[in-house]
A = this chain, B = another copy of it.
Amino acid sequence: MKDPMMRYPGYALRRASAAAMARLASDLAVLSVRPTEASVLMVVDANPGITQSEIGKLLDIARANMAPLASRLHKRHLMARARIDGRSQGLRLTEAGGVLVRRIEKIVTAYEAELLARIPAAHRAGFVAGVRALWGAWSQ
């Protein structure tokens, strides 16, 4: 059986990312949190008072998709909203959100460590530099 995709690094990138995301999702499932929600909570934790549109710019999530996402976290009492002006609202974690984000960070850190552990040490630095270069160069 020939695998014509094997020769394409871009296809390997896709498969590596899909496998890694599936693993992260299953790790986070014990907290009933999805990867995208986890990243939003981590960004709010690092930037108290940040707005939805600012989060969207950092994480490349369209404003239209940030709305239900933020609303879900708000309804779970993980984030609080405070009006900045008539159209913006600053987000910050609630107490429960802070507790949760610390658990999330533990899981993410373990996941990231295992991910790097799967890459032969000799290629680790190149891998990290490579995905960072693609992220920066291709997210425009």
Contacts and interface: CB of A to CB of B under 8 A. Distances in A.
A20 B14 contact: yes
A55 to B, nearest CB: 10
A88 interface: no
A132 B63 CA distance: 34
Q: Is the interface of A mostly helix, strand, loop or mixed?
A: helix
A16 B15 contact: no
Contacts of A106: none
20 contacts: A4-B43, A5-B42, A10-B24, A10-B112, A11-B39, A14-B17, A14-B20, A14-B35, A15-B135, A16-B134, A16-B138, A17-B17, A18-B60, A123-B125, A123-B133, A124-B126, A126-B129, A127-B127, A127-B130, A130-B130
Interface of A: 1-5, 8-21, 23-24, 35, 39, 42-43, 45-47, 50, 54, 58-60, 108, 111-112, 115-116, 118-120, 122-135, 137-139
A38 to B, nearest CB: 10
Given A5-B59, A8-B108, A124-B126, A131 B13 contact: yes
